[in-house]
């Protein structure tokens, strides 16, 4: 029996996933979570074989949760559900040792089949996502620029970003300016939008 | 000697046609840098184009103002001549600046002949009273004439004005030693202004041409995409619509039959209430196989929709032309992120800029397979170019796959170097 943890913030989708997996004889949903920051403590408690994680969750995003799981509970394999609109997330998912990366609009059997294969130790990656990721390309931003742009995306002011990242305001402005130039944005908001759409943030 | 000026400004570029990042293909760090630089350069050149007419206006205004100051300052002149000079300049300068402004924007001002005539009257009429150095004001008149009038006339007027500046100065009492200097200043001043205005007009025309080209490219691309979608996805979508309609009709028929069956049963039971229950089972029923057939039909419809969606995505991907180099770099980055030590070896020159759809699909399939396969430790992606043929070799621990790189449309060789360790 494959023990599955499901983390998805949208109640209706979560219930549908639970109902879908409950139909499978060889799977058991041992936990369902709606927040990213609850993934690790719950997983440590219930010890699932496979964690099915959505990317956008309150508290902590699915990829960061996958990273925590990989570090603290390496036996638990993670399968990330995503949309095709953010292909850059594939790179992050691979970096955090996610074993599976499936688009949300794939047929239902792709998910169940994927969970079984991941439980067997295989890696499941949607070829369309690979194609989309290759097309989008890797992020042109440096890690620091990404960090600054991510902080700016939360809506805080430059002074606050500077305090948060222990930088001077001028340096923050420089990083933002570089990021805007690199992604080809017209302004900060545009750069955030482009980077977010590409999955670089 | 008039420049071929356009009668009106070209239509503005639609928002987002050029420079908007969401219209630009994205593929990798290098491309990101290039696109970012292109956008910045675009803004910079746009600013230069906007500032050029202002520069022309500033220079055109500076000379007459200097002329007025000199009218007050020269020893031979007095307050009266200075005031005449000031009044005449105040009258003709706005007209002159108007001419320059329009010309610098590569257009012609309305009523230009009248304004030029008014300017000429003011300047020539002020000659006897505005001081000995007033012939320098002929520079403005000559420049306006060249900018506004057609070629033979403009040249003739220009030459006449320059030629009479010297005798007029002599008549007004300017020493003959000063006259050559005055002639020189009239010539150089007029040509400097003309070149400035023509340069600004050329920049404006270049920008307009660029905008028109961009508009044409956008329109052409839209037409191509539209044709492509209609030819390929159009039939698939029509099939889905037809199938959905069929399912809807069958559902409606099934429902009608069900109602009829229920109605006849109730009529039958009223008219022959004593009949046995067994006789009811022989009455009309909703088709027993109908629900199963409908389910099949709906499943097929869902499959069709999914296939069409996949095809649509494939199409959209086909419209973008990511560079081969960027695609290889990203592939190497993805493989490295998946724990496969990846080395990318690219030739110093001759690498096609893009890759055709078929070999690109093969490359992507190989990358997907490698990402899915457990236990691959190392991978080397090598591109070699010889005799105009480019070969892509993906060598892993125990397998080697070779793909011939057929350049994609609009492909040209890049000269990007090198060996990359992601």
Residue B270's pLDDT band, with cuts at 50, 70 and 90, is low
Which position has the token pair 């770099």? Answer: B329
Give yes or no: residues A189 and A125 share one domain: no
Give yes or no: residues A168 and A116 share one domain: no
Across the interface, whether the CB atoms of A128 and B372 are under 8 A apart is answered: no
Nearest Cα neighbor of A199 from A138, A128, A127 is A138
Res. A43: pLDDT tops 90: yes
pLDDT of residue A78: 93
Q: Which of B21, B333, B367 sits opposite A184 (nearest CB)?
A: B21
Across the interface, whether the CB atoms of A138 and B28 are under 8 A apart is answered: yes
Across the interface, whether the CB atoms of B33 and A182 are under 8 A apart is answered: yes
Q: Which of A95, A138, A197 sits opposite B329 (nearest CB)?
A: A138
Q: Does B337 touch chain A (CB under 8 A)?
A: yes
pLDDT of residue B3: 41
In this structure, of A62-71, B8-17, B263-272, B358-367, the range with the lowest mean pLDDT score is B8-17
Q: Which of B39, B333, B374 sits opposite A123 (nearest CB)?
A: B374
Res. B114: pLDDT tops 70: yes
**Domain B324-420 fold:** Heat Shock Protein 90 (3.30.565)
Phi and psi angles of residue A166, each rounded to the nearest 5 degrees, phi first = 55, 50
Domain that holds residue A193: 143-198
Percent of chain B with pLDDT over 90: 9
Distance from CA of B359 to the nearest CA of A (A): 13
Q: What are the domain boundaries of chain B?
A: 21-217, 324-420
Give yes or no: residues A159 and A130 share one domain: no
Give yes or no: residues A15 and A48 share one domain: yes
Average pLDDT over residues A146-162: 91
Joined together, the tokens standing for residue B298 give 């709906």
CATH code, domain with A106: 3.40.50.2300
Residue B289's pLDDT band, with cuts at 50, 70 and 90, is low
In this structure, of A132-136, B20-24, B216-220, B400-404, the range with the lowest mean pLDDT score is B20-24
* ipTM for the complex shown: 0.76
Give the residue from A136, A155, A181 where a domain finishes. Answer: A136
Across the interface, whether the CB atoms of A134 and B24 are under 8 A apart is answered: no
List residues in chain A touching B: CB distance below 8 A. Answer: 84, 90-91, 94-95, 97, 105, 107, 121-125, 127-128, 130-140, 180-186, 190, 194, 197-198
Give the residue from A118, A136, A154 where a domain finishes. Answer: A136
Across the interface, whether the CB atoms of B40 and A131 are under 8 A apart is answered: no
Give yes or no: residues A132 and A152 share one domain: no
Measured on CA atoms in the order B16, B18, B20, B26, is the torsion positive or negative?
positive
Give yes or no: residues A99 and A178 share one domain: no
Res. A186: pLDDT tops 90: no
Give the residue from A107, A136, A165 where a domain finishes. Answer: A136
Give yes or no: residues A121 and A147 share one domain: no
Res. B271: pLDDT tops 70: no
* B164-218 pLDDT, tens digit each: 888 888 888 778 888 888 888 888 888 999 999 999 999 888 888 888 888 888 7
The listed range with the strongest mean pLDDT (A89-98, B8-17, B75-84, B153-162) is B153-162
Give yes or no: residues A191 and A114 share one domain: no
Rounded Cα gap, residues B313 and A103, in angstroms: 13
Identify the DSSP state of A109: H
pLDDT of residue B278: 45
Across the interface, whether the CB atoms of B364 and A184 are under 8 A apart is answered: no
Give yes or no: residues A89 and A121 share one domain: yes
Q: Does B300 touch chain A (CB under 8 A)?
A: no
What HEC string does chain B produce? CCCCCCCCCCCCCCCCCCCCHHHCCCCHHHHHHHHHHHHHHHHHHHHHHHHHHHHHHHHHHHHHHHHHHHHHHCCCCCHHHHHHHHHHHHHHHHHHHHHHHHHHCCCCCCCHHHHHHHHHHHHHHHCCCCCCCHHHHHHHHHHHHHHHCCHHHHHHHHHHHHHHHHHHHHHCCCCCCCHHHHHHHHHHHHHHHHHHHHHHHHHHHHHHHHHHHHHHHHHHHHHHHHHHHHHHHHHHHHHHHHHHHHHHHHHHHHHHHHHHHHHHHHHHHHHCCCCCHHHHHHCCCCCCCHHHHHHHHHHHHHHHHHHHHHHHHHHHHHHCCCCHHHHHHHHHHHHHHCCCEEEEECCCCCEECCECHHHHHHHHHHHHHHHHCCCCCEEEEEEEEECCEEEEEEEECCCEEEEEECECCCCCEECCCCEECC
Give yes or no: residues A84 and A173 share one domain: no
Per the prediction, chain B carries an average pLDDT of 76
Give yes or no: residues A132 and A84 share one domain: yes
Q: Mutate one of A131, A176, A179 to test the B interface: name it (highest B CB count within 10 A).
A: A131
Within 10 A of A143 (CB to CB), how many other CB atoms are there?
Answer: 8
Across the interface, whether the CB atoms of B330 and A133 are under 8 A apart is answered: yes
CATH code, domain with A164: 1.10.10.10
Res. B234: pLDDT tops 60: yes
How many domains does chain A fold into? 2
Give yes or no: residues A31 and A130 share one domain: yes
Average pLDDT over residues B334-338: 87
pLDDT of residue B23: 36
Partners of residue A181 in chain B, C-beta under 8 Å: 36-37, 39-40
């Amino acid at each position: 029996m494959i023990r599955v943890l499901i983390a998805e913030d949208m109640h209706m989708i979560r219930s549908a996933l639970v109902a879908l997996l409950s139909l499978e004889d060889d799977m058991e949903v041992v936990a369902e979570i709606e927040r990213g920051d609850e993934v690790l403590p719950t997983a440590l408690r219930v010890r699932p074989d496979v964690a099915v994680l959505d990317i956008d969750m309150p508290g902590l995003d699915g990829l960061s949760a996958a990273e925590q799981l990989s570090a603290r509970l390496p036996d638990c394999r993670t399968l990330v559900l995503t949309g095709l609109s953010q292909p850059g997330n594939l790179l992050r998912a691979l970096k955090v040792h996610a074993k599976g990366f499936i688009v949300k609009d794939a047929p239902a059997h792709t998910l169940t089949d994927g969970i079984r294969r991941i439980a067997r130790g295989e890696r499941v990656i949607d070829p369309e996502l690979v194609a989309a990721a290759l097309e989008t390309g890797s992020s042109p931003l440096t890690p620091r620029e990404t960090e600054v742009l991510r902080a700016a995306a939360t809506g805080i002011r430059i002074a606050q970003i500077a305090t948060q990242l222990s930088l001077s305001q001028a340096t923050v402005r420089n990083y933002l300016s570089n990021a805007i130039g690199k992604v080809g944005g017209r302004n900060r908001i545009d750069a955030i939008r482009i980077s977010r759409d590409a999955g670089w943030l | 000697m008039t420049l071929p000026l356009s009668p009106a400004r070209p239509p503005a570029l639609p928002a987002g046609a050029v420079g908007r990042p969401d219209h630009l293909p994205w593929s990798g760090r290098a491309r990101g840098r290039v696109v970012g630089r292109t956008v910045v350069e675009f803004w910079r050149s746009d600013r230069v184009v906007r500032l050029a007419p202002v520069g022309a206006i500033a220079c055109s205004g500076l000379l007459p103002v200097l002329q007025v100051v000199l009218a007050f300052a020269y020893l031979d002149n007095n307050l009266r001549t200075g005031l005449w000079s000031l009044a005449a300049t105040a009258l003709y300068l706005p007209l002159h600046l108007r001419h320059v402004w329009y010309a610098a924007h590569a257009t012609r001002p309305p009523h230009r002949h009248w304004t030029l005539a008014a300017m000429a009257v003011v300047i020539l009429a002020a000659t006897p009273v505005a001081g000995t150095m007033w012939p320098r004001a002929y520079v403005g008149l000559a420049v306006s004439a060249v900018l506004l009038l057609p070629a033979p006339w403009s040249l003739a007027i220009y030459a006449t004005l320059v030629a009479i500046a010297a005798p007029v100065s002599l008549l007004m009492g300017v020493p003959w030693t000063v006259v050559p200097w005055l002639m020189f200043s009239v010539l150089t001043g007029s040509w400097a202004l003309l070149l400035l205005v023509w340069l600004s007009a050329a920049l404006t025309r270049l920008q307009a041409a660029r905008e028109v080209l961009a508009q044409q490219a956008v329109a052409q691309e839209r037409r191509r995409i539209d044709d492509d979608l209609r030819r390929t996805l159009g039939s698939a979508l029509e099939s889905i619509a037809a199938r959905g309609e069929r399912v809807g009709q069958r559902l409606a028929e099934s429902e009608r039959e069900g109602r009829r069956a229920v109605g006849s049963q109730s009529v039958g039971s009223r008219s022959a209430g004593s009949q046995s229950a067994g006789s009811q089972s022989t009455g009309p029923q909703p088709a027993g196989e109908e629900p199963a057939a409908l389910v099949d039909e709906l499943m097929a419809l869902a499959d069709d929709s999914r296939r069409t969606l996949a095809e649509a995505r494939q199409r959209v991907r086909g419209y973008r032309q990511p560079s081969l180099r960027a695609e290889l770099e990203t592939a190497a980055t993805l493989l490295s992120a998946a724990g496969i030590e990846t080395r990318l070896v690219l030739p110093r020159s001759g690498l096609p800029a893009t890759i055709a759809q078929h070999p690109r699909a093969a490359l992507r399939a190989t990358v997907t397979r490698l990402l899915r396969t457990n236990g691959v430790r190392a991978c080397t992606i090598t591109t070699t170019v010889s005799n105009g043929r480019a070969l892509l070799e993906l060598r892993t621990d125990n397998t080697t796959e070779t793909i011939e790189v057929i350049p994609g449309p609009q492909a040209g060789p890049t000269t990007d170097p090198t060996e990359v360790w992601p």
